[in-house]
Structure 1
């Protein structure tokens, strides 16, 4: 007999989701609202590096953009392209890409994910922070906004760290709440 807390029914198939994990409610919301899917049928991948294309797809879905493939056997890259095109058109990405490359399969840093969320929200004004904790200058307005709006906490900025899928779910869930 196990005394472990069971996963919510929506996440029960994911063997890699910790029922005691700090991210549980954010992942549940991301799956429920279809911002994010599992890596496969049995894995959500909460500690996986969150790819830049995944970030754009999650934001597009949160914005209500229909990016899903019309057929179950359609190639995933087709609907990712739709999300990337939408994000570029709505200034969620771009503008500060030095080589004009999106790099969809690169892991997003926390600063890059915050920047995408910030730009999706229209780059609202926010007070500057006293301690930028190694935040790149291009991301400082976005990080200040993310802290002031509760998307991230000041002790959890870590702007240059790779953003995990669970962290991205938490940021997006906090924003849409």
Structure 2
């Protein structure tokens, strides 16, 4: 069935796509330059060079911070960091209050407890309608144990991945898959 594309229908359709939850951070730990926001519009872009992208709404505080930052980090949240996702999704004077962080390369805030950190240098910024697409070249990668936080349909999902058995697909297989 075809229907006109309204903002409401478009948003509802896109909410059916499950995505990981990230917090993008920039600035320097412990200073007024530290900034961060929850972002689900995040994706890998290229293996060579290693590039990722995040889409940031224009007019938001984080938009200016990220579009002008030389360095930023992508913190892939773990399934036990729902409160962190909500903290960085809301407007606040200090989103970092009570959130354990450490300084990454160049002082960029890294959220402790995340399942992965990607430290990036800004590579490009592109027009994306009411958002800008910020592309980062990944300079440092850190992966820890844990399950990712996943969001779809307006809810965080419990995938129960810790209880699965025999369902692991080696990452090397994914790289060599024919698609």
- TM-score w.r.t. length of structure 2: 0.25
Bigger helix share = 1
Bigger strand share = 2
